[in-house]
Amino acid sequence: MKYRKLGHTDIEVSLIGLGTMTWGEQNTEAEAHEQLDYALSRGINLVDTAEMYPVPPRAETQGRTEAYIGSWLAKTGRRHEIVLASKVAGPTSDPKRPSHIRDGKVRLDRKNITEAVDTSLQRLRTDYLDLYQLHWPDRTTMCFGRPAYPWRTDEYTVPIEETLEVLGDLVKAGKIRYVGVSNETPWGVAQFLKYSETRGLPRIVSIQNPYNLLNRTYECGLSEFSHLDGVGLLAYSPLAMGVLTGKYLNGARPEGARMTLFTRFDRYSKPQAEKAAAEYVQLALDHGLSPAILAQAFVNQQPFVTSNLIGATNLDQLKENIDSVDVELSQDVLEGIKAIHQRYPNPAP
């Protein structure tokens, strides 16, 4: 395994991080524990979850993912071996976002963040989180596949400064060590950094945004914050929800696969994205690589990536995902990726 610094902290996190959002929906508790055992045996130390998980978010299952991690921690006593990250849910103005958490009255304010942290710690059976992230902004902006800035004035949003003050108090209380953002924009990152510098509030150490061959929008603006300000990317959806493995090509819907089970996952199924995915799959095969390895090795090689958050529903997928850490893409492959990207630039933002 390879390791990279988490922002300006002294924490080293594994280049491959373990995503958990299927646990409690597509994966049982026993399977979750099996994945944790195997991931740690391969050198993974970053485990990422959220109060909202599993996905799709439902009232009946909400919090189950954290509970599975908590039961594993209680059983194994290996809390000191992992960097544990979770997230607080934001407002529910978008119909695809969960309205059952705290009765839908969710904001990134003191009441909600404090309650979210406390309940996550209870489910996880730990007294602190290494990294606590804002799952999405309090304001309406571009995230979760929205292709353009909505240019909408919200009736009210919790000021970023206020949110950081709450997080600062939780750091002082020892409940969280570091803070990060998720599904955030360049403007938002700049605001968080501004208040940390002018008010002495916690500095964000990471940003968890989508990054894959079909969505490289992170490179346009946000990557500069990684380079110059140390806000490292925790890249999620490196396989574009499995589309880059090729298993959905030509309209295929394998039994048990995420896009077969759940119609809400349409972010990467646009016609241009499917065409681009087919070309990336063929490029991998032409060079004797599995499509999944090519897609994830590309993410791993980016200098702004702190950790590549993989997700798997079985151990075979998990093993292949982790194996990508040992693959260095050749210049010929990189040139092939460049050519496809020029034909299909960010077909699934």
Q: What is the pLDDT along the chain (349 residues), one digit of tens a residue?
A: 999 999 999 999 999 999 999 999 999 999 999 999 999 999 999 999 999 999 999 999 999 999 999 999 999 999 999 999 999 999 987 666 788 999 888 999 999 999 999 999 999 999 999 999 999 999 999 888 888 899 989 999 999 999 999 999 999 999 999 999 999 999 999 999 999 999 999 999 999 999 999 999 999 999 999 999 999 999 999 999 999 999 999 888 888 888 888 877 788 989 999 999 999 999 999 999 999 999 999 999 999 999 999 999 999 999 999 999 999 999 999 999 999 999 999 999 9
User: What percentage of the chain exceeds 90 in pLDDT?
Assistant: 89
Q: Is 53 a catalytic residue?
A: yes
**Structure-derived torsion over alpha carbons of residues 217, 222, 228, 232, reported in degrees to the nearest 10:** -90
Active-site position among 53, 195, 211, 218: 53
The two three-digit tokens of residue 193, written as one number: 């950094």
Q: What is the pLDDT of residue 265?
A: 75
CA distance 183 to 16: 19
Report pTM. Answer: 0.97
Give the largest Cα separation in the chain, rounded. Answer: 54
List residues bridging with 23 in a β-sheet.
27
Q: What is the pLDDT of residue 253?
A: 86
One-letter amino acid at 218 equals Y
Q: What is the pLDDT of residue 23?
A: 98
* Number of other CB atoms surrounding residue 95 within 10 Å: 6
Buried b (16+ CB within 10 A) or exposed e, 299-319: bbebebbbbbbbbbbeeebbe
Q: Are 32 and 20 a contacting pair, CB within 8 Å?
A: yes
Q: What is the CA radius of gyration of the chain?
A: 19
Q: Looking at domain 3-208, what is its CATH homologous superfamily? A: NADP-dependent oxidoreductase domain (3.20.20.100)
3-state secondary structure string, the chain?
CCEEECCCCCCEEECEEEECCCECCCECHHHHHHHHHHHHHCCCCEEECCCCCCCCCCCCCCCHHHHHHHHHHHHHCCHHHCEEEEEECCCCCCCCCCCCHHHHCCCCCHHHHHHHHHHHHHHHCCCCEEEEEECCCCCCCCCCCCCCCCCCCCCCCCCHHHHHHHHHHHHHCCCEEEEEEECCCHHHHHHHHHHHHHHCCCCEEEEECECECCECHHHCCHHHHHHHHCCEEEEECCCCCCHHHCCCHHHCCCCCCHHHHCCCCCCCCCHHHHHHHHHHHHHHHHCCCCHHHHHHHHHHCCCCEEEEEECCCCHHHHHHHHHHHHCCCCHHHHHHHHHHHHHCCCCCC
**pLDDT digit string, tens, across residues 214-270:** 999 999 999 999 999 999 999 999 999 999 999 999 888 888 888 888 877 788 989
The two three-digit tokens of residue 84, written as one number: 């544990």
Q: What is the pLDDT of residue 144?
A: 87
CA distance 16 to 307: 5
